[in-house]
Amino acid sequence: MSKTLFQRIIDREIPARIAHEDDLCIAIHDINPQAPVHVLVIPKRLIARVGEAGADDATVLGHLLLTAGQLARQLGVAESGYRIAINHGRDAGESVPHLHVHLLGGRPLAWPPG
């Protein structure tokens, strides 16, 4: 099986604008941002999508959300508000089969999305 786009970024085969990196995840600025702040928080270990995560992924899943909150503060959108989104499947807009958390902020976000 070939590597996902995100695995290639993690392995530094493809350049990305990195916002954060630690042992469990990497966060990159989206190349097609949908808001002034649009960062993807990606686990380094491949989990195809959130609905396929298991109990042993709980620590990583929690870490992704905590990292998104930390980045929201660092990127200046925590006070005004931000959205965290996880897409699962084609109809949700999933384009890469590697779990990732979208952090969006820096402008008013409509509801419902999509």
74: left (phi > 0), else alpha (psi -120 to 50), else beta?
Answer: alpha
pLDDT of residue 93: 87
The single residue of 38, 98, 100, 102 carrying the catalytic annotation is 100
100 is catalytic: yes
pLDDT of residue 110: 92
Map out the domains of the chain with their CATH numbers: 5-105 (3.30.428.10)
Distance CA 79, CA 93 (A): 28
pTM: 0.95
pLDDT of residue 112: 87
Each residue's pLDDT tens digit in the chain (114 positions)? 699 999 999 999 999 999 999 999 999 999 999 999 999 999 999 999 999 999 999 999 999 999 999 999 999 999 999 999 999 999 998 989 999 999 999 999 999 887
